[in-house]
Amino acid sequence: MTAATISRRRSPASLGTGGRAARRLKTTIGTAALLLVAVYVIAPIYWLVVASSKNAGQLFNSSTFLPAAHLNWISNLKSLFSYNSGDFKWWFLNSVVYAVATASLATAVSTLAGYGLAKYRFKMRGAILGVVLGALVVPATALVVPLFLLEHDVHLTNTYEGVILPLMVYPFGVYFMSIFAADAVPDTLIDSCRMDGAGEFRTFWQIGRPILMPGMVTLFLLSFIGTWNNYFLPLVLLGTESRFPLTVGLGAWASDLNLAGAGQPLYPEVIIGSLVSVLPMLVLFPFLQKYVARGLTLGAIAGE
Amino acid sequence: MTAPFLAVFAMFFVAPLVYSVILSLRSPLTNGFTGLLNYRTVFSNGEYWSGVVRMGYFGLIQVSVMIGLAILLALFLDSPYCRGRKFFALVYFLPFAVPGVIAAIQWGFLLEPDLDSVLNVPHHLGLAAGPVTPLDYRLSLYAIMLIVTWEFTGYNMTILLTSLTNVPHQVLEAAKVDGCSELAIATRIKLPLIRRTIAFIVILSIIGTLQLFNEPVILNEIASIGNSFTPNQIIYNTAFSFGNEQLAAAQSVILAAITIVATVAFFGLVRRKLGPLAATRGR
């Protein structure tokens, strides 16, 4: 009897399975399946990197998933940032402005509201919680057309505020924070801070805010990604190209691809523009994954 | 503490919601009140309802495939047979960082035979009369399914996987000591314990499906698949191509009602299987 068989018998994980060979077979088959799905996930991203190095001619005449003989990243980037007097650079900056402002404001407002709902007992509390939960089921797009009309009346369309303010309303964030704060912030700490004579906001600032910080990071990231990726709302609310975020700008370029007489179609620009739009997030994603996943999951589990 | 939220919520959520109901009761011609006229127009609008039915069909196939795949992946990543769990979990979650517009651009180009040489391979091998054209009118619905599945399988799997790591260790150890196979543990212990999370992601997917917009709009720009594929596209066209905001408001209200009914119906369907709602509270 070898050491291996002994250790196998002792290992509880292999109890009830068909031994080491069967286990290895299952691992191999499973890993092959996982790799297959990974190829499905990675292929379009890999293609985007390869295709962004090709000029218009190479896009149509070279092998799809292999780089062409001459790499044109530099000239594509130049063309991307100079086309139509540099629209793309403004779209990128606009996206940064929309995403940073929305995420900061949504996080601040939702954190305050969630903390308030978790740590105070007041008359309207149940009603507000109910409304917040109900708002999760209302499809956001049902609001976009009337929102446009309302904003149009008060001259908010085509402005930064017009996009940022509605996206600040983040019922999921409030709900998330109320659950997070209920568990994380001990009532005794709040009471002792009050006894020291601190006002309610000061109590929040000194006790609630530092404890809720990890949850705030999660909310900030979720709202940032949501705003960065949003297309429908800015598409409806914005008419001026100089206010577009990346998604709407790239969509506008894409709509010229198929139009007869729209001049030279912007294939290389659309492709490298897409890469530039997703690259920062993809590079940062391994570091952000933990925070983002936690936010999504806390929502799902608490919803049980 | 809740005041700032309630203020923006009232202005940018409640106000548009109330306004769209009021608007939907007004006449497109005179803007005076006309009762349910717009609703009657929507109910007799074949294009709108074929969009709704299309999304029902879409959801039935796409949501089932996506959630099924997400469950399989999560259960396998959570099993002792899995190698490289962290790597795969990260890779599968990556599309969450890609905007729907860009996902549609990527796939739109990859599904165009002019741009994707792979689609010409069956033709060159003599297996097909011409290149494979997934963005052809009959196939474009399935092309969108492929894209949406790409976008959200990893997102759903991530939620399930984190939910699985909350399954108590003692339960799993006890099952192993009792001689349960890993397959039995996965299907008889883990799966029932995460059934509420599964119901939650199905509901999110139903809501998302009925709101589908970005992917068909971008695909239409790349390959002309038609601009009234989904209810949301139709609402957008009604409001901004035809300038009929009143009718668009009625279409929006009906779509919101359909979404809520679909959510509640699904909930009613699985309610008995979910058990009492308070059962897993305080975990």
Nearest-CB residue to A146 (from B20, B107, B201): B20
Residue A32: pLDDT band by 50, 70, 90 thresholds?
very high
Are the CB atoms for A115 and A248 separated by under 8 Å? Answer: no
Residue A80: pLDDT band by 50, 70, 90 thresholds?
very high
Digit-coded pLDDT (tens) for A113-157: 999 999 888 888 999 999 988 888 787 777 888 899 999 999 999
The CA distance from A165 to A162, in Å, is: 6
Nearest-CB residue to B23 (from A47, A146, A292): A146
A164 contact B CB<8A:
no
A146 contact B CB<8A:
yes
pTM given for the model: 0.90
Q: Which of residues 81-110 of A touch B (CB under 8 A)?
A: 108-110
The CA distance from A174 to A210, in Å, is: 17
Are the CB atoms for B166 and B190 separated by under 8 Å? Answer: no
- pLDDT(A79) > 90: yes
Digit-coded pLDDT (tens) for A254-279: 888 876 665 678 899 999 999 999 99
Residue A111: pLDDT band by 50, 70, 90 thresholds?
very high
The letter for the amino acid at B15 is A
Digit-coded pLDDT (tens) for B24-79: 999 998 888 999 999 999 999 999 999 999 999 999 999 999 999 999 999 999 99
A16 contact B CB<8A:
yes
Nearest-CB residue to B222 (from A143, A258, A293): A258
Q: Which residues of A211-242 are buried (b: 16+ CB within 10 A; e: fewer)?
A: ebeebbbbbbbbbbbbbbbbbbbbbbbbeeee
Determine the pLDDT at residue A260: 60
pLDDT along chain B (283 residues), means of 10: 91 93 92 92 95 96 97 94 92 94 94 85 85 86 96 94 87 88 89 90 92 93 87 93 93 92 89 59 36
Q: Which of residues 20-79 of A touch B (CB under 8 A)?
A: 23, 26-27, 30-31, 33-34, 37-38, 40-45, 47-48, 51, 59-60, 62-65
Q: Chain B partners of A274 at a C-beta cutoff of 8 Å? A: 102, 105-106
Rounded to 10°, the helix A160-168/A73-119 angle is 40
Do A113 and B181 lie within an 8 Å CB cutoff?
no
The letter for the amino acid at B217 is V
For A50-81, the DSSP string reads HHTT--HHHHHHS-TTS--SS--HHHHHHHHH
Digit-coded pLDDT (tens) for A84-109: 889 999 999 999 999 999 999 999 99
The CA distance from B260 to B211, in Å, is: 12
| Number of C-beta neighbours around residue A136 at 10 A | 16
Cα-to-chain-centroid distance, residue A76: 27
Residue of B nearest to A156 (CA): B12
Determine the pLDDT at residue B281: 38
- pLDDT(A5) > 50: no
Nearest-CB residue to B221 (from A37, A141, A258): A258
Do A258 and B83 lie within an 8 Å CB cutoff?
no
Q: Which residues of B72-107 are buried (b: 16+ CB within 10 A; e: fewer)?
A: bbbbbbbbebbeeeeebbbbbbbbbbbbbbbbbbbb
Give whole-number Cα distances, A83 to A86, A266, A276, in Å: 5, 9, 15
The CA distance from A37 to B66, in Å, is: 12
- What ipTM was assigned to the predicted interfaces of this complex? 0.90
Among A8, A41, A145, the strongest candidate for a mutation testing the B interface, having the largest count of B CBs within 10 A, is A145
* Residues A163-184, mean pLDDT to the nearest whole number: 91
Q: Identify any residues that bridge with B26 across adjacent strands, giving them in sequence order.
A: B33
Residue of A nearest to B151 (CA): A41
Distance from CA of B56 to the nearest CA of A (A): 16
Give whole-number Cα distances, A123 to A112, A119, A120, A172, B155, in Å: 17, 13, 10, 22, 37
Are the CB atoms for B217 and A146 separated by under 8 Å? Answer: no
Residue A185: pLDDT band by 50, 70, 90 thresholds?
confident
Task: Give strand ranges (E) for A148-288.
Answer: none
The CA distance from A138 to A153, in Å, is: 24
Q: Chain A partners of B4 at a C-beta cutoff of 8 Å? A: 108-109, 112-113
